[in-house]
Amino acid sequence: MKNKSYFLSEYSDNTLEVSWTAIEHNLNFFKSKLAPSTKVMLMVKAAAYGHYTSIICKKIEAKKMADFLGVASIAEGIELRVEGIELPVMVQNVNPKHWDVMIEYCLEPVINSFEILHSFLGFLKSKESLASGQYPIHIKLNTGMNRLGFNQKDVDELVNRLVNQSSIRVSSIMSHLSSSGNFSAEEFTLRQIREFESMNVKLKSSLGINPISHILNTDGINNFLKYQMDMVRLGIGLYGASEANDLKNELQPVARLTSKVVAIRRVLKGESISYNRSGFVSQDSNIAILSLGYADGLPRRLGNGNWQVEINGQLYPTIGNICMDLCMLNLEQDEVSVGEEVIVFGGKKTIFDFANAQDTITYEALTNIGNRMKRKLI
């Protein structure tokens, strides 16, 4: 069944175009760096970083371009299953209240604390059909991100908890690099990797297992390739929006955001525009109105001339405050027609410009694009 919010977005004037050619290029670029045996997990959390998960994942699965998919929540994993995706799906943040649903949809939990481990083992034990089913799990180790995961001092206890457990199978052991794109933190990153290797070896040898090991993210692949281990996790790089300067020259941005002119208004010199009389024209001017606002991912801080959009190759600034559902452009004396396409980013203005104008990163700018935005794979 089609996700209702995305189905309704088909009636929107606003479109996030998603380039399959760019996705394929970016994925092949990273794969070309890896050893043939290295597996790839594609991170598709937060609607594939705002791009719309299922339309991308269906093609990735059909073309056998990934070994795992990674999501942040059980709900995101369920969306993939409902759309018919069969690839293994790792869920980063699990809620013990929903173990039954997670198992129903064959989702693989990341175990990052003793509390989560105890809860999951207890649940499996309570289900006779699962008690010896070797359900796949992923063990997360904390090596310096200090967010989630088992610490070095926890390894012995973790071994004790996992040994002789017939209800689970450790599919992978992982950690997360905090600063792999920051060259000033190179020694810290290497220390994270060394600590992971130490903890990982101890777990494997003590338990007599050989699961997949992975620690590299997009920047990690780019800067610490020799530590690719058994698998890498590719996130922002897949979408061509990595902030790394050298990658900007290699990757192709995947997203292009467009809108439509829904009205033109002639505003006389000295008159005000938008809420709180936030915009004024210094001469009689043509004002274009777009049905695009902060509820769609165009933040208020980009009003009052802080962003320019492209119409017929020309850039026009916003004027007045961005509204929830609308924004206004100052055309001055230029004339455009109702229905004209407007490129918000992905033309003369890039996703990097869009994020910089908001004083944020591309991750946030992309994931802020709302559900009522139409997504279209091109």
Distance CA 260, CA 109 (A): 42
Beta strands 279-280 and 314-317 are unpaired
Q: How far apart are CA 99 and CA 91, in angstroms?
A: 12
Catalytic residue among 31, 202, 260, 275: 275
Query: d(Cα 7, Cα 10) in Å, to the nearest integer?
Result: 6
Question: Whole-angstrom Cα distance, residue 148 to residue 138?
Answer: 13
- Residue 258's contacts (CB-CB under 8 Å, 6 or more residues apart) are 14, 15, 17, 341, 342, 343, 344, 346
Q: How many CB atoms lie within 10 A of CB 349?
A: 18
Residues near 50 by beta carbon (within 8 Å), at least 6 away in sequence:
16, 255, 297, 366, 367, 368, 369
d(CA 138, CA 81): 19
Q: DSSP of 37-99, one letter per residue?
A: T-EEEEE-HHHHHHT-HHHHHHHHHHTT--SEEEESSHHHHHHHHHTT--S-EEESS--GGGH
Q: Which residue in 6, 45, 227, 294 is the catalytic one?
A: 45
**204 in active site:** no
Exposure on the CB side of residue 53, measured as CA atoms within 13 A: 27
β-bridge partners, 288: 264, 329
Encoded tokens for 307? 């962003």
Q: Is 125 a catalytic residue?
A: no
State the catalytic residues: 45, 275
